[in-house]
């Protein structure tokens, strides 16, 4: 029995070491440094208590980035869910070459972020970009729109790109959930004379809402923490119009070198997302109890 216990820990230990190295240590070090005046240039630092948190919370740029993150997450998430759900419904009704449509629609999710970012930079560039030049040639606008260098266009453009990028993930998971709904229930509803909305509300939605809820939780965390696609395409500009909390934390840590204050930002971000996930899971648990 003792040998079996040791064997179990031997198999688990490598995974625990990897998790500790990639998550536990950075997380604990961020909490620690958030209470210090740690600077990437200065070798020495001292404890400052909650000074970093106070400095962050009274910084107007932090709140600008925070509300940008809220808008970025809500708009991206709503768009991804609606587009992904519509695509899943459409694919679920296709009987021929469904596999081909799946492959074509999953392409945005399959590419690395850096490839997607540079591709969209080329497509939307105000000077030589394909889309702005096509708009002017079609006579839709007299001057080519600056999708990435105009603050009124940049945020909307990034949201569109994120919806295009994330919708396939929603589509695949919702499609899988739709295919688990018993066909007998649809047949019984048809015999009873139920219309399309009644079938969706009383049969389809109860079977897939937990899956959608879990997807919303995951996508909320991923989108709110999204850094690479924004940084690679706009860098948070122009004029901070696309600056979100991760970009703000990065600029604070690597721009001003104030690692302690940057760590405070990441801790505040973690607490906020923890509260959001707590609310999400309360709702999902209620759905699961209703379905029992």
The domains found in the chain, sorted by start residue, are 29-290 (1.10.3720.10)
Q: Residue 3: is its pLDDT beyond 70?
A: no
Q: What is the pLDDT of residues 61-75, one digit of tens each?
A: 999 999 999 999 999
Average pLDDT of the chain to the nearest whole number: 84
Q: Residue 263: is its pLDDT beyond 70?
A: yes
Tell me what the mean pLDDT of segment 141-151 comes to.
Answer: 80
Q: In a 10 Å sphere around its CB, with 0-12 CB exposed, 13-18 middle and 19+ buried, how is residue 273 labelled?
A: middle
Cα 36 from Cα 101, distance rounded (Å): 53
Tell me what the mean pLDDT of segment 7-35 comes to.
Answer: 81
Count of all residues that appear for the chain in the document:
292
What's this model's pTM, rounded to 2 decimal places? Answer: 0.85
Question: 143 — phi, psi (to 5°)?
Answer: -115, 135
Q: Residue 192: is its pLDDT beyond 80?
A: no
Residue 230 pLDDT class (50, 70, 90 cuts):
very high
Q: Residue 104: is its pLDDT beyond 70?
A: yes
Q: Residue 142: is its pLDDT beyond 60?
A: yes
For the record, the structure tokens of 214 come out as 């879990």
pLDDT at 105: 81
Cβ neighbours of 245 (radius 10 Å): 25
pLDDT at 290: 65
Tell me what the mean pLDDT of segment 139-152 comes to.
Answer: 80
Residue 291 pLDDT class (50, 70, 90 cuts):
low
DSSP 50: T
pLDDT at 54: 93
């Amino acid at each position: 029995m003792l040998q079996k216990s040791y064997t179990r820990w031997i198999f688990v230990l490598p995974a625990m070491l990897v998790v500790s190295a990639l998550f536990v240590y950075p997380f604990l070090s961020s909490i620690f440094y958030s209470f210090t005046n740690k600077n990437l240039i200065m070798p020495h630092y001292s404890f400052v208590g909650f000074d970093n948190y106070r400095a962050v919370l009274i910084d107007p740029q932090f709140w600008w980035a925070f509300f940008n993150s809220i808008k970025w997450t809500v708009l991206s998430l709503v768009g991804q869910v609606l587009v992904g759900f519509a695509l899943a419904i459409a694919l679920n009704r296709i009987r021929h070459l469904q596999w081909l449509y799946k492959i074509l629609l999953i392409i945005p999710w399959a590419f690395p972020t850096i490839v997607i970012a540079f591709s969209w930079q080329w497509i939307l560039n105000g000077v030589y970009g394909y889309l702005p030049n096509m708009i002017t040639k079609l006579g839709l606008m007299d001057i080519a729109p600056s999708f990435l260098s105009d603050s009124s266009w940049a945020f909307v453009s990034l949201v569109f790109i994120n919806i295009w990028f994330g919708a396939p993930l929603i589509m695949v998971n919702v499609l899988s959930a739709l295919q688990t709904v018993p066909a007998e229930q649809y047949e019984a509803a048809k015999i009873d004379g139920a219309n399309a909305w009644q079938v969706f509300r009383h049969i389809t939605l109860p079977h897939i809402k937990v899956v959608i809820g879990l997807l919303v939780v995951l996508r909320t965390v991923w989108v709110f923490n999204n850094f690479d696609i924004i940084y690679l395409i706009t860098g948070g500009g122009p004029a901070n119009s696309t600056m979100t909390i991760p970009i703000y934390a990065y600029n604070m840590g690597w721009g001003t070198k104030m690692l302690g204050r940057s760590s405070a930002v990441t801790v505040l971000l973690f607490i906020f997302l923890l509260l959001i996930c707590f609310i999400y899971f309360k709702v999902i648990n209620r759905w699961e109890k209703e379905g029992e």
